[in-house]
Chains A and B, each alone.
Chain A
């Protein structure tokens, strides 16, 4: 997808909360948004792991069939 370069170049909140220890207005919402993205990514990784396992299973099965 042409939008792929956009990935990896987004401004994150990473480390910024540590730089400002005071309780700032809006910060819980900012953290919540970032946590939602993180939760989604964990789900993404889980599905990716299943798909890759399936892929390797097919590969092993096919190479076994050829030998």
Chain B
């Protein structure tokens, strides 16, 4: 259809074909660059050590299955000046009872804020904002300098490493540090291939992409294991007194970008992690990722802020980051194209009575698709010593296909956005 049209000497169809290849080349160059940058040794800038207070916020909606374990780990942290605030977002189950029991067992160290309908269940951002407001109004932070109060958002299923405070604290010696994201792992990663691949996904994202973004100045915040200086959060408060978190489906992404735009530095700590529960069902996983994808699309509203306020290098990376959903939707057409071509060739071979497949059919796509698997496998094997390099590389070949989940999630998320659907059921615990 496009072959009749020419741009200069080049048929339009050919130009478009090569343009589609350019997506893969661009993404491949970006991934390779960040992999190389992430291998550099990172030096923290140091400042005077301060005695800081760590506040763990757990926004909970029906978390009776996982909350007790998370609180047990937080209260067992070998650190002084810590407290946990459970924000019960009008749960139907025993979430509040479990929190009350923890309050009784650890007086002064665990607190409960109960929200009630119709004000509750307005999203995670709203619950966290209520938590911050409660910290102020309850006097829990009276006499503390907001610069020395570190607020950590933990999911109710989050299991923090025991040394997490000691690992994160030095990053806040730099007074410009607004937030520090720690690594994310799956504690049930031995429960099947899907859980293992999610663990690999988070390790690769943290150890390659987030680590490299420390040099670019564009580290993102995640919804779990996100440590923020209270003074930095204060600068994000709305003029109407609204809290620092937005009502976006990806309030963590939104907050991280606004911190950078506000002149704060985000850090990524590779020496500590929070472990969460992997989703063990493909349909639920796609649904979860659709929610993230839709939230990412909503974050397009941050583009003017990035263009105006964020330093150039970080801005370029953040613009690429925020636009990656568009690229995912575009590239999703390529595997479908490949599949159609393969089926067509098989049919053509049968009709011709001889194979029409050349070695290039295997070699070219393999090189283009799976070269990254060797780097990803190597990075993962360093985190998961027991797995071994060979098995990690084999696993990362499956990881490439696992990434295709985002294509399904992307179109679903786009559909929900176009049809004006904004409410989501949270991912159920098992």
Contacts and interface: CB of A to CB of B under 8 A. Distances in A.
A24 B361 CA distance: 14
Contacts of A4: 27, 31, 205, 209, 321, 324
Interface in A9-32: 9-17, 19-20, 22, 24-27, 29-32
Interface in B265-304: 289, 292-293, 296, 303
B204 A11 contact: no
B368 to A, nearest CB: 6
B337 A30 contact: yes
Interface residues of A, number: 47
Contacts of B307: 51, 54-55, 58
Contact of B341 (A8, A30, A52): A30
B338 A13 contact: yes
Contacts, number: 223
Given A12-B338, A54-B307, A22 B376 contact: no
Interface string A25-58: 1110111111111111110100010011011101
Interface string B377-411: 00000000000000000000001100111110110
A3 interface: yes
B133 interface: no
B1 A32 contact: yes
Given A8-B27, A29-B340, A33-B340, A40 B372 contact: no
Nearest to A15: B364
B352 interface: yes
Lowest 8 CB-CB distances: which A-B pairs, in order? A6-B403, A26-B344, A8-B27, A38-B19, A38-B16, A3-B406, A7-B27, A38-B20
